Every structure is written in C-alpha cells, then in structure tokens.
A and B are shown apart, each in its own frame.
Chain A
C-alpha cells in the first residue's frame, strides 16, 4: 500500500509535503498534485494543506544543508510540471540531506533526471525570453501573450525587469491563466480577463496604438528581406522555431 500525499500543485505545497514525509515517516509515499491525482483502490489518500512555515523550514534546510545551487535546481525542475517531478525531487532531497552530492554526480540516475528537467525548463525559459513579442496597447503597456510548455514565467521575470525597466509591460500565460506585470517599480503576479477578439486584425486598432501595426508590419518585412532563398532550409528553421510558437510571433502572422 502506498500513501498518496495530495497537495495543491504549488511549490510551497510540495515543500510542505516533503515536511510531512519527514514528520510522519510513511514507508511508501507518493506526492501528487491535486490536478493529476488518480484514485487507486490500494492507496491511502492524505490531503496536504500548504503551510508557509513548514515550507520555509524545508526550503531553508535545502539551502543550508544541500546548498543554494541545489535549491535552485530543485525549484527549476519543479516548474517542469512533469508527472515524475515530485518523486524525483523527493529522492534528490533525501539524498542531499544524507550528504550525497546531488548536483554533479552524473552517474546517479536521479541526478541525471534532475539535470534533464532543469535543462528542458531552462530551454523553454530561454525560448520565452526570445519569442515574447510585445504589442503597445493604448494604455501604454507593452503586452505579450505566451503559451509555454512549462511554467516558466517566474524565471522570466528578472530578465524582462532588467531589460525593460523604463516601460510598463505585461506578459500573460494563456495556458496557466496568470501573468506577470511590471509597473515601473516591481513585478507582480496578476490574473485578468482577456477579450477573445484581441488577436483579430479587425479589433486590433481598438486595443493597440496606431504605430503598433506599422512596427509589426516593418518587422514582418525585415524578416522577409533578411532571408537568403538560395540557402533555404526549412528543417533547420522548424527545429529552431517549432510551429507551436508561431501563434504569437508577429513575423509569422499572415
């Protein structure tokens, strides 16, 4: 029989679950996000309520005993949303607390998986840094929509804050339904209703500035002019810019 610890899917919730594992010492345990839980006749379910104090204690423990670098990797891997993440990270944390190296020992299967999760999250974060396209709204906010494969916005925030410190901007994750908004001072998490017609070319002049359309047009033209047809290589092109990102790339709009 396995004890299923069901938590709310947040990082704090996960750390709280780790706290409970150390506290209750179950023999076999599986930490599962409430969104992914499947009822299994043989398992016993326990709901874990996110507790900031417990979460903080585990986080401090990770940073002090395993190291800041490991903490960083664990957080990034968590953002991958992969179904095995909780189990891998729990084993990593246990190994780390026992004094094993969990950042460089690439002969360990869990360390390799951790590295792999961090890698795919890092790549997606980097792609968001690259593929985000701001459009200037009539409210003077540079607005972008994204649908990243993993939950990367928390990692993107610093990059955009450093880069665009003199303009208001909002990046909205359409999959996870939250965004990060910079108001010239700080970056905050926000949730909002976005009209469905915002991406239709007919309604665009209603939301965006007059010049905005012109700059998108210039950029599209630039994209075309800078291509060298005699070197055309669509396979390589698609490898770099997979189709799933085209939806929000201004240069790829008809």
Chain B
C-alpha cells in the first residue's frame, strides 16, 4: 500500500464528506458469524468526537469528489476549483478493515460525487460493500449513500450488503432545490427511496414465511436536508420531515445548518454564522414527533411557522396550552407525563415505575432527575411546598428564563436581557 498517496486521498475525500451529518451506527441486526470480523448487533458507538463536537463512528468518505453536477451548496460541485481524487475499490476496503481492527470505527459511511452517471457511480459503491461482506467476512456497519437516479436493480443489491441506505433530499422546499441544484429533481431522490421502502416491506413479509430470506437494509433508511440556505420556515422543514417519516418510514431525518462554502449570490455569504441554535431546535422538535407523541400541527402551524429560539419547543407548546396543566404526576397517563416541560421519556418511565410503590413528592421527582426549574410550574404531586399559582404564559416564561442557564445563552443574549428585566418586575 502506498501510504503517502492514500493519505493524500483520505484528506481530500474525508474533508469533502464531512458535511453529511449522519453518523448513526445503531439499529442493525448483523451478528458476527463463523468467526468473522465485526459485530453490529448492539448499539452504536461513537469512537471519538471532532473538535466541533460531532460523533465519529464511521469512516465517512467519498469514493470520489469528481462530480458532473453543479449544486450551489456543495463543495464537490463541478465549478468549484478544488483538488480532486478518487479511491480504488480495494483501497476503501483495506482502510475500513484496518481501521475497524484497531477499534477506530464501527464501519463505513460511503458517499460519492457522481462520475459519468448515477448507475456507474452506484455500482462502485455497491462493489465496496459486497467485497467487505463476501471477501472479508465483515459484519461491521455499512451505510451507503444512494446516488439520486440510481436504478432499482442497484438499489436492491445495495440493500443486500448495506445496513443503511440514504439519499439526501438536500433542500426542504422544491423551489429551493430548483434554485440551488438545477441538475437535480426531487423525483430522482424519491425513486430510490420508494424502492428501498418497498424492498424493506417485502423483506419483512417474506421473512415471516422463509427464515433464510437474506436481510435487507436492516437499519432502514435516512435522509438529510440543509437548513438556512434558502430562507425556508421551520414549519416547511418539519412538515417535509414529517412527510418523509410517514411516507417512507425513515429511521432518521437529519438537519444540517448551512455552512457557507462558496461565493454565490443565491446563498448566504461566506462568514455568515452556521445556524447551530436553529439546528438544535429542529432536532428537539424531531424528537418530540418521534418519541413524545406530539403531532406536527401542535408544534408548528399557520400561527407559529417558526420555532422560538429562546425556549425549547416543548416548553413553547406548554405555554401556548396552559389549559392542560398542571398535570398530576401520581395519576396522569404516559402521554400527559411526556408533555410536562423538563420531563424526559426516561423520567416518564421512572415515574410510572416508582409511583406503583408510593405517592411521589418533589423530593422523589428531584431524585429521579427531572428538571425542576421548568417542571415545577406544570405539575402537582404529593407535596405542597411549591405553590402553583395561576400565572400567565408570559410570567411563566420570564420566571423560567430567569433561573435557567442555557448553553445557547450567547446566541440570544439581547433578548434574554429584556426578559430578565421583565422577570424582576413580575417577581417583586
């Protein structure tokens, strides 16, 4: 192996792949068999974290950064003057195996710029996965990025070797996509997604009859969109997201705050801050949809097209719906418990278990680990130390913000000062 050359390629092709935010390596069922290498039957593992705080779980690289497309938001676009490189299939296989054996990674995340055409590129991605599985007896995690426009036959083959397949929808709105990626059509993403969805459904029904049916994309599919590049609202983003969860049974939708990387008048200029806080609020909303039983209409609608920046979306919903509160912790059902600000799903489970043994008081709730500074105004329990007065939403908000110290404080500092002075007035 020519290590110097590989190093050069790795630097170029890892650098170009880093804007894909997916890093999940969990949710697959591929146990080690016949004393092979690797096991992905358990949970995902983050082996390290970049200095920007993102998890490193997979060797995330492009097969090549040559590309025939010219999407404005992408570093790899045709018109961008960057160094180009391409891995050979065997080089990716060797890197993956050697990194895996040293416990650096959980597996491979392989994406690619498009050279020649969609199928030519997709075929090579599939070949890497096939070699890893069949020649190296590798049972680690493989995530393949589907190339928009790839044929059904290749998507079927990809799913036989990969744990997860994904294709990025890139831009939350169709107009935005037309503006920034004139070469791409939404239908080109949808087609491979639909194929994968149908294969997964078929696999599940065949599996019931024939035990030996080969597994197909056991970790399902995911997608990603870029946030803040085309002036879309939070509602537009999350309704798109909800549609993909429902229509394609996506395991995850990822949100990637746009990082200005090029001078293009269609896009925010270089030096514009990455919308990290917004990204965080979108993930919180996504979480509420998937695990907390909220519907998208409750969180975002015509009256509230955007999420609030200074408070999390659950608190925001609660303040708009005070008629549901206070919730009685010792009697309320799971669904209502999950709606109390400051109470996470783990705490919900603990509450339900613990209250079978005794009535819970503030002390118990604190010990269980719920976040009292928010929760105290929205629940009653077997103690009366904290009085639950009738307060308006604005009063509650200022009370809570006066006592909380968010890591995002810097991001809305001017607003916060305003609320703090408010809080002084109402409290005194």
**Partner-B contacts on A (CB < 8 A):** 101, 104-109, 112, 126, 129-136, 142, 144, 159, 162-167, 211, 214-215, 217-219, 221-237, 239-241, 249-251
Contact = CB atoms under 8 A, between A and B. Distances in A.
A134 B364 CA distance: 44
B6 interface: yes
B46 to A, nearest CB: 6
A230 B75 CA distance: 15
A166 B36 contact: yes
Nearest to B3: A214
A233 B52 contact: yes
B406 interface: no
A249 B35 contact: no
B14 interface: yes
Given A222-B10, A241-B49, A107 B364 contact: yes
Contacts of B353: 104-106
State the majority secondary structure of interface residues on A: helix
A103 to B, nearest CB: 9
15 contacts: A107-B367, A133-B104, A134-B101, A165-B35, A166-B137, A218-B95, A222-B59, A223-B48, A223-B56, A225-B14, A231-B259, A237-B53, A239-B53, A249-B48, A250-B104
B341 to A, nearest CB: 21
Contact of B367 (A106, A159, A221, A235): A106
Q: Which 7 A-B pairs have the closest CB atoms?
A: A236-B53, A231-B52, A106-B354, A225-B14, A240-B49, A104-B353, A227-B50
B152 interface: no
A237 B48 CA distance: 9
B52 A131 contact: no
A132 B276 CA distance: 31
B66 interface: no
Contacts of A159: 42
Given A166-B35, A237-B50, 15 more contacts: A129-B45, A131-B48, A142-B101, A211-B98, A214-B1, A219-B104, A225-B10, A228-B259, A230-B274, A233-B51, A233-B52, A234-B51, A235-B407, A239-B53, A251-B104
B160 interface: no
Contacts of A214: 1, 3
Given A225-B15, A226-B15, A237 B39 contact: no
Interface string B161-198: 00000000000000000000000000000000000000
Contacts, number: 156
Nearest to B357: A105
Contacts of B55: 240
B101 A164 contact: yes
Contacts of A142: 101-102
Contacts of A215: 98-99, 102
Contacts of A219: 99, 102, 104
Interface string B50-90: 11111110011000000000000000000000000000000
B202 interface: no
Contacts of B368: 106, 112
Contacts of B276: 231
A229 B271 CA distance: 12
Contacts of A235: 53, 407
A228 B354 contact: no
A104 B354 contact: yes
A235 B408 CA distance: 12
Contacts of B336: none
Nearest to B4: A214
Contacts of B36: 165-166
A162 B14 CA distance: 29
